[in-house]
Amino acid sequence: MVWLSPALDDLREIATYIAWENPSAVRRLKSLLQEAIEPVAEPPYLYRSGRAPGTRELVAHPNYVATHRMCL
């Protein structure tokens, strides 16, 4: 699994936004998202088809959907 720069940028923006209100929640959310997303590499086609062609989506948290694409 490789995190692309735009995904890392999104994660940083989310963390910065949440940190203004609740810094401890940022650590929990980042952990939760990473734990939910990392296993995607194993059964990648288990997740629903994405809105963009050739992608899959994982609901990592009720407020966040992770989109991934398989590269062989």
Rounded Cα distance between 40 and 36, Å, is: 8
Q: What is the pLDDT of residues 3-36, one digit of tens each?
A: 789 888 988 898 899 999 898 898 888 888 888 8
pLDDT for the residue numbered 13? 92
Dihedrals phi, psi of 39, to nearest 5 degrees:
-65, -10
Quick one: DSSP state of residue 51?
A: S
Q: Which secondary-structure segment (H or E) carries 54?
A: none
Question: Helix (H, G, I), strand (E, B), or coil: what is residue 59?
Answer: strand
Rounded Cα distance between 42 and 5, Å, is: 22
Instruction: Quote the CATH superfamily of domain 5-69.
Output: RelE-like (3.30.2310.20)
- Domain residue extents for the chain: 5-69
The yes-or-no verdict on residue 72 having pLDDT over 80 is no
Give the position of tokens 């959310």: 29
The yes-or-no verdict on residue 64 having pLDDT over 70 is yes
Q: What is the pLDDT of residues 32-63, one digit of tens each?
A: 888 887 777 677 677 888 888 888 888 888 88
pLDDT for the residue numbered 16? 92
